[in-house]
Every structure is written in structure tokens, then in C-alpha cells.
Amino acid sequence: MNHYMEKEKMTPTQMAKKVFDIEAAAIKNLSQHLNGNFEDSVDMIINSKGRLVVTGMGKSGHIGVKISATLASTGTPSFFMHPAEAIHGDLGMLTKEDILLAISNSGESEEIVRIIPIVQRMGIQLIGMAGNASSTLAKASDCFLNISVEEEACPLQLAPTASTTATLAMGDALAVALMHMRDFQPEEFALYHPGGSLGRKLLTRVKDIMSSQRLPIIHPASSFQEIITTMTNGRLGLCIVMNEEKIEGIITDGDLRRALERTDKSRFDLIASEVMSKDPKTIDADSMAADAEHYMLQNKINELLVTEGNNLVGVIQLYDTGRIA
């Protein structure tokens, strides 16, 4: 009742700040609960030949779905099994090589408690995540992860709030620790996220988005008029200066302006070798598009010449990398 009265005296903003403070404290206090069981859980999962199956009832189940999804997308095969469905046949999803991560804030959820003896009989290792270290789930677990909180953010101390936040944080800690142990790389993450913008960016290589047809190539002795004509027809805003098969330089709109500013010559007397920027930046065709974008931003340029070995095969521009985001 006191919590309810306290809420009545607060503005919505004050109440929101109180929720943030309570839930932040709940996460911070998790560190005090960490012990050898956390590392044992990580070792158990790393050495398993099966999947990490997550189960939980009610709000714990909703959090469990997210934890399972995070694990699956970061290198740990996982799926969520609803405990009520489990006792009506879905326990057949489990194999002896799997590990069960059971979540229950009280540690006494009826559906969870009912499947524990069956899981033990099947010889499946059990990781328990609960807020009560003396609970049935905690005592039955091979490894127990304590997610207890001092108070809920709910003013009535009824709705799971701080406890679900703590559960989610413990699940994230487990997933991140497993990523670290597996040396999980961005390319692997991208393989599990091919449909999203991040996946596209991490999977796309320079050769997938470069311009490679009818490249605007000119000779070092080409005239100013040839530069303009080639640049216009090429529609890339640049010319590549080559002597036979060797790249000599690049000419951009900026190079043209700078050349006209620094010389007294008539523009019609200028040739490509006098206008070009020598030793232009290049990148290999098999490089990741994200690396090309970073390289261009780092060097404050808008284009890179793309090569395979010593051969020019295309041009990639900063605009191109933006299309995959």
C-alpha cells in the first residue's frame, strides 16, 4: 500500500526515473551473485554436442524466448520450449546431448517443477535460473544462476519488472561470454542475419556493388576535352588515368578545379597527367564493402579503384556502400 501511495504522489517522469533506478540496481547487484556456476555453465554449453533449450513460464517464458533468440544468433544453437506444452509431448524435442536452461523467478513454477524429474531421468544437464537459491529448481540444477532482486519496480511489488530485467541481463551475459569463448566474428553474425541491413552490410563484398562496365579510362597524354568527354560519358564523376595496364592516377571534379586554380595555362592546353592525382587509393575486389566504406571515410575520399591482383576491375564509391545499409 505504501508503494501505491508513493506512486500517487509522483509525476510520470519521477516514476519513470524511479523504475530506471530500481532496474539498474537490480542489474548491478547481479555481479554479487556470480560464482563458479556461471563459468561452469559456459563450459557445459561450450562442450555440449547438442542444443541449449530454454524454457520458462509466463513472463519468464517471454524473456526466455528472447534469450534463446540471442543465443541462436550468436553461435549457440538454441530454441525455446514451452513448459506447459513440454509435459504434453514436447519433451520429445529434447535429446540426451541437449542442455536445458530453465527460468523461474520463484524457482517453484508448477510446469517447470513437473518436468525436472523427467529431464533428470533422460540424463539431460540442467541450468537453473531463479531468484530463490533455496528453491526446487535451484537445488535440482547442475548449475544455478541466481537472478534475485531486492525489489520490483512495480509499485505493488506484483508485476515482474526488475526481476525480468535481471533475467534478461543474465541471459545476455551468458550469450556474450559464449561469443567470447567461441571467438565469434562479425562474418558469422552476418550469416545468421542475411535479411537485415546489418547482415547485408557484413556479407556484401566490394565486387558485389562496384561499377565495372565501360570504365572511364584515359591515357596520361589525353587532352582536357577528352577528360571532360570521358568523365561525362562515364557518369561516375571521374576518369581513371592508365598507361597500358598500369594505373597512373585518377581525375575527379575536385582535381579539375584544383588544376585550373593553380595554373596560368589555358584549360585546353592541360593534359591528363597534369591534372590527375597520382597513386590513387585502391581496394581488392574481395574486400568487404563495410571495410571499403570505412577506408573512404578515414581518408576523406569518395571513390576507390578496385583491383584483382594488379588489374583494374572496377570503381566503388561512397554512395554505393550507402545502398546496402
What number is the average pLDDT over the span 271-286?
A: 94
Q: What share of the chain in percent tops pLDDT 70?
A: 91
H or E segment at 315? strand 311-317
What number is the average pLDDT over the span 302-320?
A: 92
Same domain? For 60 and 150 the reply is yes
In a domain, 198, yes or no: no
Q: Of 152, 184, 216, at which residue does a domain stop? A: 184
Angle at 300 between CA 313 and CA 246, to 5 degrees: 30
State the pLDDT at residue 120. 95
Residue found under cell 584483382:
308
In a domain, 126, yes or no: yes
State the pLDDT at residue 73. 86
Please tell me which residue, 22 or 322, carries the higher pLDDT value: 22
Residue 188, pLDDT > 80, answer: no
What is the pTM assigned to this prediction?
Answer: 0.68
CA 217 to mean position of chain CA atoms: 39
In a domain, 272, yes or no: yes
Same domain? For 84 and 219 the reply is no
Same domain? For 46 and 127 the reply is yes
C-alpha cell at 217: 579510362
What number is the average pLDDT over the span 252-271?
A: 86
Tens digits of residue pLDDT in 64-120: 999 999 999 898 999 999 999 999 999 999 999 999 999 999 999 999 999 999 999
Same domain? For 132 and 234 the reply is no
Tens digits of residue pLDDT in 136-153: 999 999 999 999 999 999
In a domain, 122, yes or no: yes
Tens digits of residue pLDDT in 159-185: 899 999 999 999 999 999 999 999 887
Same domain? For 216 and 301 the reply is yes
Residue 6, pLDDT > 70, answer: no
C-alpha torsion angle, residues 183, 186, 189, 191 (rounded to 10) = -120
Same domain? For 149 and 250 the reply is no
Q: Of 123, 154, 184, at which residue does a domain stop? A: 184
Return mean pLDDT, the chain: 90
Same domain? For 168 and 244 the reply is no
Same domain? For 273 and 172 the reply is no
Same domain? For 50 and 172 the reply is yes
Residue 301, CB half-sphere, CA atoms under 13 Å: how many?
20
In a domain, 239, yes or no: yes
State the pLDDT at residue 322. 64
Same domain? For 137 and 39 the reply is yes
Same domain? For 291 and 216 the reply is yes
- Residue 93 in contact with residue 119, Cβ under 8 Å? no
In a domain, 133, yes or no: yes
CATH number at residue 240: 3.10.580.10
Q: How far is CA 257 from CA 102, 204, 264, 266, in A?
A: 67, 34, 13, 13
H or E segment at 289? helix 289-299
Please tell me which residue, 7 or 63, carries the higher pLDDT value: 63
Residue 325, pLDDT > 70, answer: no
- Report how many domains make up the chain: 2
In a domain, 190, yes or no: no
CATH number at residue 132: 3.40.50.10490
Amino acid, res. 75: G
State the pLDDT at residue 265. 79
In a domain, 194, yes or no: no
Give the separation between CA 66 and CA 58, rounded to whole angstroms.
13
- Residue 311 in contact with residue 276, Cβ under 8 Å? no
State the pLDDT at residue 267. 78
| Structural domain boundaries enclosing 221 | 206-322
What number is the average pLDDT over the span 9-20?
A: 91
Same domain? For 123 and 9 the reply is yes
State the pLDDT at residue 5. 42
Give the separation between CA 302 and CA 181, rounded to whole angstroms.
38
Q: Of 151, 184, 217, at which residue does a domain stop? A: 184
Tens digits of residue pLDDT in 23-41: 999 999 999 999 999 999 9
State the pLDDT at residue 288. 87
